[in-house]
Amino acid sequence: MKKGILYGIGAYALWGFFPIYWKLLHHVPALQLLGHRIVWSFVLLAILLVAVKLGRDFRSALNRKTLGIYAIAAVLLSINWLTYVWAVNASFIVETSLGYFINPLLSVLLGVIILRERLRPTQWIPLGLAATGVIYLTVVYGKLPWIALTLAFSFGFYGLVKKMAPLSSLFGLTLETGILFLPALLYLAVSQANGTGAFMHTGLRSDLLMIGAGIATTVPLLLFATAAREIPLTMVGLLQYIAPTIQFSLGVFLYREPFDTAHLIGFGIVWIALIIFWVENYLANRVPVEPIPEMGEG
């Protein structure tokens, strides 16, 4: 359990500082950045599998059901990656942080609905408050905070799929990026052929950063995948406070994105929800209670 928590902290801290990395590639179209993330991540993972002599084990673990599960995970992951990179470079870092502030509570709700994890009655209060915050921002701005919701739902369901997925974190991420590899490579090849590709046309630093996207992407995802398998989904939700806090701070204080009174009220409601959830969980864990049956029992 403790190792899983450390993996989770490491993953979310790295994700928190991601805007700095992608801002260095603001001149590259978001869809091309997605392609490079997929291609270089898969290349890195494939090399790793060969290096540790697990290629045969990986191939033997594949079957139709496994491919179906990880195809869903791959689609969810690509939606999340594309939305996030586009939003960061379009100066919506603050809204991306809202998505990841919402995501912990959404993960908890998915754990209750689908995995039959049980919540105490008082834990429903922060879920309601978070929904209120989103509704408030929708009314004030006259539209849904679609960036935040897309990020929250895509990654929330991705975490759920990873929780139920049969493969190890290394095999799983290799399969996900492998499923997306050929479409991504084809898109990048077409971009290069028609003269719109950024790779090898925007300077050595940009090329190295695009290649480095494989490492920047793979390391926190492997940490997250391992954590998601070793700790309860509710704990995963708690650890997710780390990334959006860092992202929010970067958006407001480093990149000077707008944050007015209406933002403060909407975000404040969500923050209060998170504080209530954390305090309630801390107090409940201090008091001895009867253990909750494992999923699938009774």
| Residues contacting residue 295 through CB under 8 Å, at least 6 positions apart | 115, 116, 117
Say how far apart CA 138 and CA 95 lie, in whole Å: 12
The pLDDT of residue 233 is: 64
Given a contact cutoff of 8 angstroms between Cβ atoms, the answer to whether 181 and 192 are in contact is no
Given a contact cutoff of 8 angstroms between Cβ atoms, the answer to whether 273 and 129 are in contact is yes
Token pair for 88? 């960061």
Given a contact cutoff of 8 angstroms between Cβ atoms, the answer to whether 46 and 141 are in contact is no
Given a contact cutoff of 8 angstroms between Cβ atoms, the answer to whether 255 and 17 are in contact is no
The pLDDT of residue 189 is: 97
Token pair for 267? 């975000």
Say how far apart CA 100 and CA 152 lie, in whole Å: 6
Say how far apart CA 116 and CA 155 lie, in whole Å: 19
**Percent helix, percent strand, percent coil in the chain, to nearest 5:** 80, 0, 20
| Residues contacting residue 154 through CB under 8 Å, at least 6 positions apart | 76, 77, 79, 80, 83
* Helix 64-89 / helix 169-193 crossing angle, nearest 10 deg: 60
- Tell how many helices (H) and how many strands (E) occur in the chain: 13, 0
The pLDDT of residue 286 is: 66
The pLDDT of residue 296 is: 36
Each residue's pLDDT expressed in tens, for the chain with a length of 298 residues: 678 888 989 998 999 999 999 999 999 999 999 999 999 999 999 999 999 999 999 999 999 999 999 999 999 999 999 999 999 999 999 999 999 888 878 888 888 888 777 778 888 888 889 889 989 988 888 888 999 999 999 988 998 898 788 998 889 989 999 999 999 999 999 999 999 999 999 999 999 999 999 999 999 988 887 887 788 766 776 777 888 999 999 999 999 999 999 999 999 999 998 888 878 877 776 644 443 333 333 4
Say how far apart CA 221 and CA 76 lie, in whole Å: 13
